[in-house]
Structure 1
Amino acid sequence: MRVPEPMLAAPVEGLPRGDVAYEIKWDGYRCMLGVDEGAAVLRSRRGTDLAPAFADLAEAAVRDLPAGVLLDGEIVIWHDGRLDFGRLQRRLGRGPAAVAREIAATPAHYVAFDLLHEGGEDLLALPYRERRRRLEALCAGLAPPWTLCPMTHDRADAEEWMRRLAPAGVEGIVAKRLGQRYEPGRRGWSKVRSRHTTEAVVGAVTGTWARPGSLLLGRYDGERLRYTGRTTPLAPVLAREIGALLAPAPAGHPWAGRRFSAGWGTDELLDVTLVSPRQVLEVAADVSLDAAGRWRHPVRAIRLRPDLSPGDAPAFGAGNRPAAG
């Protein structure tokens, strides 16, 4: 079975109108999931095999799903009445025993929002409305850990979902044209976030890469990683979680030899350690920028997003402010 790249959503300021379906945007890991020749297929947005980290879903897929099915959806974990992205991260890069403990404590669920293959038939060319009809028929016979993503055609209902479900960790709404085919790798859908956050690439740290004190962030301007600001000091727990995913800087780091100021309007320099610029950080930031387009004030680190690639962060100068998307 060929696993295509996922279709993506472009951020917009408000929900589009017209011949549109509105779906909940989940705070989880995007995952192509299916069954091929008796084996479970779990692929992340970046092509990583997620089956070892989510062995509970892999086992359920073989048990519950028909052969030749490929779903597009989101892996989520519920904990204490809300979505818990941190507990998803705990499973990455862990051995079978550690994963088994996480499964016992907080099992994962899969929220399906598209059907790409069924019975060996490629459905990508079908319009969304037809793929959704077939997905609903498939999910009608499934029980947890499988969930059909809620969908509405009513814009007011979608706006109410954003207001009501944000405290539970729901990120926002994705809008999809009813007549649209599935286009791998293309940002053909639209998304509006409930939370006003944004992303940047971690290029350096204060302290060590294994136990960072704060993070220096950048965004790409074409091929160049441009410095855009740094975070406030990290809480110890968050520093440990982030340090476990960072890696030392490779040769030819784009910031090699560069010096960084300790703050806007000061000549004091930071003592920094360069890291491999591969990890994307979600941050909360205000709108105060300097003349170069950098954040004037430190931003607050929320979490690493190992499910995103550096190219998924906004381009430098095109979105340094928090975006509703």
Structure 2
Amino acid sequence: MASWRAASRQSRKFDGHRAILFTSAGPEGRLLLQARRGSLIQDRFPDLVAAAEQLPQGLVLDGELVVWDTATGRLSFEALQRRAAARGCTATALAAKSPAFFIAFDALQIDGIELLALPYAERRRRLEVLFTARTLTAPWTLCPMTTDPAKAREWLEDWTDVTGVEGLVVKALNHRYRPGARDRAWTKIRRGSTAEAITGAITGTLTRPQLLILGRHDRTGRLRPIGRTVPLRPAAARELAEHLTPAAVGHPWTGARFTSAWGTRDVLDTILVEPDLVAEIGADTSVDRGGVYRHPIRYVRLRLDAAVDDVPRCGGGPAATAG
């Protein structure tokens, strides 16, 4: 435990959208927000644009966008999804009802000086100095950090009961920042049993999906089935139907058959879809050696902010068996 404490730092993991923040005096305005997939989304968050006067020029921060729902008095991922899709007058109206916050957890550039090659410990120190020197207040928030395992354990046990706080992220103190890479030096620890998977097939129809057949890539990059969901609720089915795309030629599961339950021979009537949607799932720990869940999986929600490369890889296993 002592070596773990010396080599890493833990921060709370918030349930939001990852984003990169830029400040500039250029023609695009003083604030730019870039989503994980590269699109600029500052027009969806006029409240953050208006608050950019607190920030210095030449700043690049990595962080999480979250939204506070004034009606429920808590962080709301659903309200964030609505805001991320809104523009113009609708975006302004939603900003008044569900204000956004940017929770900064890394500094990539300060005062125009690039910090990517610095170890995380030094980037974090400069981020803390920035918040103190500029006396930054909401909507700009500094993500809490600790190197104390006892404090991290307290956060995991107590703060994950708060809606919008999913768990912890453990980061190596001596690592530089790697743009565009899924940093394997960062480990996510959730208190609950939620995870991510890729939607590769469905039962029902594209307009009314009933079940999802989910997969993950193995170490060779091959998409392996890992399980199926329980029947979708009507609202979830409607949400998914808006984003499902019929499979193109060359789908990795072409010709595969999927069973209705682990260990049975009953075959599902499935439709292959483009494997480009990430689903958040809830499942138990009954998993075989190939990473296949033995019991049906609970669909939680669609993760439009996540890419398939963000989904953990499975350990392999047969390509045409899914429970």
Q: Same fold (TM over 0.5)?
A: yes
> How many Å apart are 1:291 and its aligned residue?
6.8
Residues of 1 paired with 2:293 and 2:7: CA distance? 39
**Structure 1 residues 209 and 105: alpha-carbon distance in aligned structure 2, compared to 1, 3 A threshold:** farther
Residues of 2 paired with 1:215 and 1:112: CA distance? 35
Match of 1:130 among 114, 119, 122: 122
> How many Å apart are 1:302 and its aligned residue?
1.0
Match of 1:298 among 274, 296, 300: 296
Alignment of 1:71 with 2:61, yes or no, is: yes
Q: Could you say what the CA RMSD is over the residues aligned between the two structures, in angstroms?
A: 2.4
Question: Which amino acid in 1 is paired with 2:187?
Answer: S
Residues of 2 paired with 1:109 and 1:292: CA distance? 40
- Does 1 or 2 have the higher relative contact order (CA < 8 Å, sep 6+)? 1
Residues of 2 paired with 1:244 and 1:54: CA distance? 23
Question: Which amino acid in 2 is paired with 1:264?
Answer: W
> How many Å apart are 1:293 and its aligned residue?
4.1
Residues of 1 paired with 2:241 and 2:97: CA distance? 24
Question: Which amino acid in 1 is paired with 2:195?
Answer: T
> How many Å apart are 1:22 and its aligned residue?
2.1
> How many Å apart are 1:277 and its aligned residue?
0.5
> How many Å apart are 1:95 and its aligned residue?
4.2
**Structure 1 residues 28 and 318: alpha-carbon distance in aligned structure 2, compared to 1, 3 A threshold:** farther
Partner-residue secondary structure (3-state), 2:160: helix
> How many Å apart are 1:154 and its aligned residue?
1.7
Residues of 1 paired with 2:291 and 2:146: CA distance? 39
1:138-158 Cα shifts (integer Å, max 9, x gaps): 223222111111122321111
Alignment of 1:37 with 2:25, yes or no, is: yes
Residues of 2 paired with 1:286 and 1:145: CA distance? 37
1:186-234 Cα shifts (integer Å, max 9, x gaps): 3223332222222110011122233321211011122321211110111
Match of 2:96 among 82, 101, 104: 104
Counterpart for residue 8 of structure 1? none
Match of 1:272 among 270, 281, 284: 270
| Between 285-294 and 18-27, the greater mean CA deviation after superposition | 285-294
Partner-residue secondary structure (3-state), 1:18: helix
Counterpart for residue 9 of structure 1? none
Residues of 1 paired with 2:144 and 2:61: CA distance? 15
Question: Which amino acid in 1 is paired with 2:156?
Answer: M
Structure with bigger helix share is: 2
> How many Å apart are 1:87 and its aligned residue?
1.9
Alignment of 1:209 with 2:191, yes or no, is: no
| Between 187-196 and 285-294, the greater mean CA deviation after superposition | 285-294
> How many Å apart are 1:81 and its aligned residue?
4.1
**Structure 1 residues 78 and 92: alpha-carbon distance in aligned structure 2, compared to 1, 3 A threshold:** closer
> How many Å apart are 1:312 and its aligned residue?
1.8
Partner-residue secondary structure (3-state), 2:62: strand
Counterpart for residue 46 of structure 1? 37
**Structure 1 residues 242 and 121: alpha-carbon distance in aligned structure 2, compared to 1, 3 A threshold:** same
1:220-278 Cα shifts (integer Å, max 9, x gaps): 12232121111011111222223223323223222233332222344433222222111
Partner-residue secondary structure (3-state), 1:277: strand
Counterpart for residue 157 of structure 1? 151
Alignment of 1:219 with 2:216, yes or no, is: yes
**Structure 1 residues 208 and 132: alpha-carbon distance in aligned structure 2, compared to 1, 3 A threshold:** same
Q: Does the Cα contact within 8 Å between 1:111 and 1:149 map onto a contact in 2?
A: yes
Alignment of 1:16 with 2:4, yes or no, is: yes
Question: Which amino acid in 2 is paired with 1:28?
Answer: G
1:164-313 map, 5 Å: 164-168=158-162, 169-184=164-179, 185=181, 186-221=183-218, 222-289=220-287, 293-313=291-311
Question: Which amino acid in 2 is paired with 1:50?
Answer: I
> How many Å apart are 1:176 and its aligned residue?
2.9
**Unmatched 5+ residue regions in structure 2?**
318-323
**Unmatched 5+ residue regions in structure 1?**
1-14, 320-325
1:104-139 Cα shifts (integer Å, max 9, x gaps): 321111101111111211012223333223222322
Question: Which amino acid in 2 is paired with 1:274?
Answer: L
**Structure 1 residues 206 and 102: alpha-carbon distance in aligned structure 2, compared to 1, 3 A threshold:** farther
Residues of 2 paired with 1:265 and 1:114: CA distance? 46
Residues of 2 paired with 1:118 and 1:311: CA distance? 29
User: Identity of paired residues, percent?
Assistant: 48
Q: Does the Cα contact within 8 Å between 1:82 and 1:167 map onto a contact in 2?
A: no
1:292-319 Cα shifts (integer Å, max 9, x gaps): 5422211001112222221222222269
Task: Using structure 2 for the length normalisation, give the TM-score.
Answer: 0.85
Partner-residue secondary structure (3-state), 1:232: coil
Q: Does the Cα contact within 8 Å between 1:203 and 1:217 map onto a contact in 2?
A: yes
